[in-house]
Structure 1
Amino acid sequence: MAHSKARIAQAAVPAPRKGMPSPRLDEAEFKHRFLRQFIDPSYDRVRTELSDIADIAWRAYAASRKSPITRKAGAGYADPEYDLSVDWLAAKAAIEGAEARYCRRDGPRHILIINASSRSEHSCPGEMSKSYRLAELAQAVFNEEGGLTSELLDLSRLASEYGRHIHPCKACFSTAAPLCHWPCSCYPNHSLGQSQDWMNDIYPLWVEAHGVMIISPVNWYQVSSPLKLMMDRLVCADGGNPDPTTTHGKDAATAKAIELAGWDYPRHLAGRLFSVVVHGDVEGAENVRRSISDWLRFMQLEPAGPLAELDRYIGYWEPYATNHDALDADIAIQDEVRNAARALAEAVTKRRDGQLESVGTQLRQPRQK
């Protein structure tokens, strides 16, 4: 396989395809959009100052100053003299710290619980989600287990908290695997105003976790939009390049050459255990649960057993207005969620004690990705 790739690389590296219309704005449109953030009349007394700030923002945009603060990569990188974003370097350091905690043999085993619903009493719906309630049931189980710690990642904060964003994946991996950096280097992009991205905080949560439990509703036959954003941005954890200096940032042609010369597709989250709980109202629960589980398996995470994967309907074809009453009455699903948590806790504990081994980890897959 490696020899085949080397022959391809020696023959020709395909040039990146071009042809899409430019998204660049002229100065008037850019400033119009920038100043729309400040339409509240309370800003009227500082309109002159805002105009000055818009001028600065325009110049940064026009010059494509994506990462205005950088420093030399330094030792350990292919090109120590390459200027790397301090934002990316900080994210990399956080991941390395999380990896060290994950690898500690004498430390507690950590569980990451993810509430994937966007519904919250603190935003327009005016009511908490069933997913959050189920996540609390699961966390109570983990808190009762000795030797375990847990953390709840509440993705509903994307819709309810100021400055919380998960920006969309830009699909660098589809151009060439080495162009997708681990952690993601696409954000923040200060020139485009694509800042305050949550993923640099989320990556270490996944890395530190020995077990991951995702609890999600069905939204139009699919996973929720917050969960899909996070899933897409975790593509860099599955084959992503930990050294952006090898591709000199985002040089697509260089990345293509590296991939064709032979890429090992490092699985940065391999071996962690998982549980998935999906609940729906009328349709799609089984397919969404399978979709999430298949995604996790593809990244070489491992299921914690049959009881750890669950899809159910709560208040089937009943009014949405009484959905929490339906959950109150459904004692069985509450206990099933607790059992899913117990299964994950047991698997994580057995893995720590050397009683649960992975199968096939030494086998090389003929198709990496």
Structure 2
Amino acid sequence: MRKVKVRKGMPNVALSKAQFAERFKARFYDPIFAGNEKEIDELLSTAWISYDDNHKSPRTRKAGKGFADPSYDLSVDWYAAHKAIRTAEREHRNQRSPSRILIINGSMRSDQSCPGEMSKSWRLVELARKTVMAKRGFEVDVLDLSRLASEYGRVIHPCKACVSTAMPLCHWPCSCYPNHALGQVNDWMNEIYPMWVKAHGIMIVTPVNWYQAPAGLKAMIDRLVCADGGNPDPTSTHGKNAQAAKALELKGWPYPRHLAGRLFSIVVHGDASGAENLRRILTDWLTDMGLIPAGHKALIDRYIGYYRDYATSHDDLDADRDLQEEVRNAARALVNAIMLHRKGRLKQPDVELKDPRPK
């Protein structure tokens, strides 16, 4: 087996105690905290120890049966996320369970934050949700990514690209977070992963922002990389041991596709440009993970108030009854595809073919 080395050489990012204190105290900038300086300094002293000693996962448990190294100290945070995914997988496979669709609002705009007005994406999500709920035997989960910009402590931390070091270093679910030493906590992905796993169908409704996906949607997309080839056993790499992960990959990695076989629908809207490109990007991303498009009418890109004033864009949506019906049809197509798929009647002609390059 070819030997490889782990490349090092990027600048040191460690903070001095003074730098750490400045950033820590910035969280208490509000004058309401005046008078609590003593308590803040006490917390600062403890937080510095956690940071300086790198207490990434301060609470652990033995991995136990079913893992490559049962004696390895697994993060209890990771184990809880792992357990939630296992439960979601059982629900997904249960033929007696209702069919479930996850509808994702990709817009960051909300009347609960600076824009002061709801997004058009949210209105389209509601059209889709009501359409699905009208079908007997279906249930809907709504993932509203606008909460990233409007809700306290709601965050999706950025992907660190462990997969580019070696695929087995990218754990399923992601083990990069929480990182308690760096204050990288409240990671929403540990709740989002089971939502994707449990779903039989995914429907993404999103605007296009400067030819790209909105920031929150892109953050979720990046963090779902572990669903496509990710390692479900962190003990096999002894946590984040890059050398061990490289060796494991070179032995021959199977690239398990943890979300393959689910159906999907996409609605992208814009006001001037970029909608078609984003619809194609999202379609390529999902099909690359082994998800299945629910048909031509399930994948749409449209313009609302093309080159008209932003101030009247909701009025333009009110008037565009055809677009509203197209969104309903995208939801209906997804419903129909799921019903066929769960009955074994939606056959994929390439499903039995072995991929010679699964990456």
TM-score range (shorter-chain normalised) is: over 0.9
Displacement of 1:47: 0.8
Q: Which residue of 2 aligns with 1:41?
A: 31
CA distance in 2, matches of 1:41, 1:11: 59
Aligned 8 A contact 1:111 1:149 in 2: yes
User: 1:230-241 to 2 correspondence within 5 Å?
Assistant: 230-241=220-231
CA distance in 1, matches of 2:335, 2:35: 57
Tell me which of 216, 229, 244 is aligned to 1:226.
216
CA distance in 2, matches of 1:79, 1:156: 40
Q: Which residue of 2 aligns with 1:104?
A: 94
Report whether the alignment pairs 1:116 with 2:72. Answer: no
CA distance in 2, matches of 1:73, 1:302: 34
Report whether the alignment pairs 1:27 with 2:17. Answer: yes
User: 1:168-183 to 2 correspondence within 5 Å?
Assistant: 168-183=158-173
Q: Which residue of 1 aligns with 2:199?
A: 209
Name the SS of the counterpart of 2:74 in structure 1.
Answer: strand
User: 1:281-320 to 2 correspondence within 5 Å?
Assistant: 281-320=271-310
Aligned 8 A contact 1:271 1:358 in 2: no
Q: Which residue of 2 aligns with 1:4?
A: none
Report whether the alignment pairs 1:11 with 2:7. Answer: no
Report whether the alignment pairs 1:354 with 2:344. Answer: yes
Residue 324 of structure 2 aligns with an amino acid whose one-letter code is Q
Displacement of 1:354: 2.0
Residue 94 of structure 2 aligns with an amino acid whose one-letter code is R
Identity %: 60
CA distance in 2, matches of 1:240, 1:31: 37
Aligned 8 A contact 1:72 1:83 in 2: yes
Tell me which of 164, 179, 188 is aligned to 2:178.
188
Displacement of 1:215: 0.4
TM-score, structure 1 length as denominator? 0.97
Residue 187 of structure 1 aligns with an amino acid whose one-letter code is Y
| Unaligned residue ranges in structure 1 (runs of 5+) | 1-9
TM-score, structure 2 length as denominator? 0.99
Name the SS of the counterpart of 1:332 in structure 2.
Answer: helix
Residue 333 of structure 2 aligns with an amino acid whose one-letter code is A
Q: Which residue of 2 aligns with 1:6?
A: none
Residue 255 of structure 2 aligns with an amino acid whose one-letter code is Y
Residue 47 of structure 2 aligns with an amino acid whose one-letter code is A
Residue 2 of structure 2 aligns with an amino acid whose one-letter code is A
Q: Which residue of 2 aligns with 1:141?
A: 131
Displacement of 1:77: 0.3
Displacement of 1:130: 0.4
CA distance in 1, matches of 2:151, 2:348: 39
Displacement of 1:359: 2.5
CA distance in 1, matches of 2:119, 2:225: 27
Q: Which residue of 2 aligns with 1:266?
A: 256
Number of aligned positions between the proteins: 359
Q: Which residue of 2 aligns with 1:280?
A: 270
CA distance in 1, matches of 2:225, 2:45: 36
Displacement of 1:114: 0.2
Displacement of 1:42: 1.1
Q: Which residue of 1 aligns with 2:239?
A: 249
CA distance in 2, matches of 1:359, 1:174: 31
CA distance in 2, matches of 1:254, 1:293: 34
Tell me which of 63, 81, 90 is aligned to 1:73.
63
Runs of 4+ in 1 over 3 A off after TM superposition: none
Displacement of 1:115: 0.2
Displacement of 1:358: 2.5
